[in-house]
């Protein structure tokens, strides 16, 4: 979905520039949702776009440090993960076929309910999807935040896991962070233009609620799991971008 051309080498702020894959993703997401495409399908495409952009940036070999991440290294899977509604719906559909995993989600949701991000990190609570080999049981469906997460220093991750109170900052590859952020920010903006709130929710709590609603998930039911509203997101991302071609077109219909 995101453009494979024009990948800037480096951008300073999360979502701070309307460049790279951000504008094209925004337009395509708004257009797709406006046409009635299932938001779960949209988020599947965005996940693939994040993977593709990662491969492109790494393939460009721009001299930056590369991720030290490897299968089985899962220190980062012990902190709070935030997801949007389409990501929740995608995982909930998958979990309906996997009752054992759904039970683990509910148990973790009970344990983590109400924990702020800092307390969650301090407790180093493992994600319900982490298996005994340190692998993600929903790797293909994993949230966008997990897809983007990486570290260029495995030692820093080990220290953060061992001593979360005095953890060093986890270093990341700037171009990788910026470009994958641009895809996700573009998706959030496209959702907003299409009238779908880009609010965020805690993974386990939101999934536990979604699993209680077999056919349709009323958004109000998710309120207790909400961690970030679209207004807060605007404060992080800056002012909303100018309307897309798609939203201008819709507003004249
Ligand atoms: S969903 Fe998968 S990748 Fe994300 S925190 Fe859980 S185990 Fe880790």
Q: Note the pLDDT tens digit of each residue in 116-135.
A: 888 888 899 999 999 999 99
- Would the pLDDT of 204 be above 70? yes
What's the CA gap between 163 and 235, in Å, rounded?
A: 31
Cα within 13 Å of Cα(12), Cβ side: 0
- Would the pLDDT of 65 be above 80? yes
How is 65-93 classified by DSSP, letter by letter? PPP---TT--GGGSS--EE-HHHHHHHHH
Alpha helices per DSSP H over 11-38: 22-34
**Percent residues over pLDDT 90 in the chain:** 60
**Best CA proximity match to 21, nearest among 152, 183, 203:** 183
| Parallel, antiparallel or unpaired: strands 226-228 and 82-83 | unpaired
Question: What is this structure's pTM?
Answer: 0.87
Q: Which of 37-46, 201-210, 231-240 has the lowest average pLDDT?
A: 231-240
Give the pLDDT mean for 231-251: 54
Give the pLDDT mean for 102-117: 92
- Would the pLDDT of 249 be above 80? no
Cα end-to-end span (Å), the chain: 25
- For 202, phi then psi, to 5°, come to -70, 135
Given ligand 1 and candidates 146, 150, 205, which is best to mutate, with the most ligand atoms within 8 Å of its CB?
A: 146
- Would the pLDDT of 43 be above 70? yes
Q: Which residue has the higher pLDDT, 2 or 144?
A: 144
Query: pLDDT digits over 73-94, tens only?
Result: 999 999 999 999 999 999 999 9
Classified as helix, coil or strand, 201 is strand
Cα(248) to centroid(ligand 1), Å = 37
**Phi-psi category of residue 139: left, alpha or beta, with phi > 0 → left and psi -120 to 50 → alpha:** alpha
Q: Which of 32-36, 117-121, 159-163, 201-205 has the lowest average pLDDT?
A: 117-121
DSSP state of 187: H
- Would the pLDDT of 238 be above 70? no
Classified as helix, coil or strand, 130 is strand
How is 228-249 classified by DSSP, letter by letter? E-HHHHHHHH-SPPPPPHHHHH
Is there an atom of ligand 1 within 6 Å of 73 CB? no
Report the atom number in ligand 1 closest to the C-alpha of 129: 7
- For 242, phi then psi, to 5°, come to -60, 150
Q: Which of 8-17, 150-159, 241-250 has the highest mean pLDDT?
A: 150-159
Q: Which residue has the higher pLDDT, 168 or 100?
A: 100
Given ligand 1 and candidates 72, 105, 120, 143, which is best to mutate, with the most ligand atoms within 8 Å of its CB?
A: 143
- For 215, phi then psi, to 5°, come to -100, -50
Alpha helices per DSSP H over 72-150: 85-95, 99-112, 117-123, 144-148
């Amino acid at each position: 979905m995101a453009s494979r051309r024009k990948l800037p080498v480096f951008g300073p702020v999360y979502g701070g520039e309307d460049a790279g894959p951000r504008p094209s993703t925004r337009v395509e997401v708004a257009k797709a949702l406006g046409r009635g495409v299932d938001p779960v399908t949209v988020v599947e495409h965005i996940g693939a776009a994040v993977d593709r952009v990662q491969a492109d940036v790494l393939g460009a070999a721009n001299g930056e440090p590369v991720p030290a991440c490897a299968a089985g290294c899962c220190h980062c899977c012990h902190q709070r993960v935030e997801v949007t509604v389409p990501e929740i719906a995608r995982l909930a559909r998958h979990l309906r076929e996997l009752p054992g995993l759904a039970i683990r989600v509910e148990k973790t949701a009970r344990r983590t309910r109400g924990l702020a991000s800092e307390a969650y990190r301090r407790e180093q609570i493992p994600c319900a999807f982490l298996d005994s080999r340190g692998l993600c049981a929903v790797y293909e469906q994993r949230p966008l935040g997990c897809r983007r997460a990486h570290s260029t220093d495995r030692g820093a991750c080990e220290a953060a896991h061992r001593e979360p109170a005095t953890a060093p900052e986890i270093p990341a590859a700037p171009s990788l962070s910026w470009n994958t952020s641009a895809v996700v920010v573009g998706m959030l903006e496209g959702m907003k233009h299409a009238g779908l709130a880009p609010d965020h929710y805690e993974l386990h709590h939101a999934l536990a609620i979604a699993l209680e609603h077999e056919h349709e998930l009323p958004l109000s039911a998710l309120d207790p799991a909400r961690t970030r509203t679209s207004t807060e997101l605007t404060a992080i991302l800056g002012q909303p971008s100018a309307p897309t071609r798609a939203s201008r077109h819709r507003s004249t219909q």
